[in-house]
Amino acid sequence: MEKNKGSSNFEYIEYFSRYREIIPDFEEFLEYLKVPHQQYFRINNLKVSEEEEAKLLKILESKGILAEEILAIPKFYRVVNNEEVSLGNVKEYGLGLIHSMTLASSLPVIALDPKPGELILDLCSAPGGKTALMAMLTEDKAIIVANDKRIDRLTALSANLKRLGVTSVIITRSKGEEFPFGIEFDKVLVDAPCSGEGRYKVGLEGEILYQKGQGRSNLPSIQKGLLVRACDLTKPGGIIVYSTCTINPEENEEVVDYLLRKRQVKLLDWEAPLPISPGLTEWNEKPFHPEMTKTKRFYAHKIKAVGFFVAKIQKL
């Protein structure tokens, strides 16, 4: 992560103040920004059987990794001694027995609900955590097209899938908003590039630390293009899931509202395994579709993971 070099004594409270009215327990949220990111991992059921899970956890414990099961999301574990260990350094990670990913990254895939035999497109897939989770949940028996526009990110995607033993994925390189027509997919995931505000942490001097790409003013335009293309690539009756790791309504509800006005689709409710806040029906005096409450906001301080937004949509 990098410092916001453009503002040396940047006050994070000032930055997030515009969200004060929409973030529950705002002061708690501000305090959580000071807490280091929590490490989570998922046991890879493509390589580890149910009977072998307990043995694997004991091996990890012998290497100093203490893990606590997340009952709400099967096979996910929280690293208890979070700041003392690095999951990427253990042999079991290199062998693909476990996969490190934030708990919140599972949420778009849970909403998508992939099934064996389905044709699924992950439109912005790299570095491949959600693609891999789809393969795990379908026991590697779906047909998953993993797309990204950047060759360097596809290299990381390919390496992750190989490490995890995934064989059901076809990798493509295309700008998501220009992904070619010709095949209609049962389901499409759009985990869109975003400002990443759900990942933000603050340094000792109150400066925001952030991922590269923050501050791009054209993000909502890109996101709208991706979501419309995803809809056009989905068969009638099929499912689209749109997700970001940002708090910004202009990148979340406003993008979904745009699709509702441009295409014949409807929002679907789904059962979330973690605490939610409903999507907004208004922002800065701009109204959104009343069913936007079916979209879900996951705030970092409530789920103890990266903040996320998830919308489940059906093409009519």
Of these residues, 124, 194, 231, 245, which one is catalytic? 245
Is residue 119 within 8 A of residue 185, CB to CB? The reply is yes
Q: What angle do CA 298, 57, 132 make, to 5 degrees?
A: 50
Cβ within 8 Å of residue 235, ≥6 positions away: 184, 185, 186, 315
Closest CA to 110 of 287, 301, 296, 237: 296
Is residue 258 within 8 A of residue 230, CB to CB? The reply is no
CA distance 206 to 12: 6
Q: Catalytic residue at 231?
A: no
User: Per DSSP, which regions of the chain are E strands?
Assistant: 2-3, 40-43, 67-69, 76-79, 98-100, 119-122, 143-148, 169-173, 185-191, 201-202, 208-210, 234-244, 265-268, 277-278, 282-283, 286-287, 296-298, 308-315
CA distance 115 to 145: 14
- Provide the 10 A C-beta neighbour count for residue 177: 17
CA distance 312 to 294: 8
CA distances from 236 to 23, 50, 264, 265 (A): 35, 37, 10, 9
Q: Tell me the sheet residues that pair with 282.
A: 287
Residue whose token pair is 């903040």: 307
> Which residues are known to be catalytic?
245
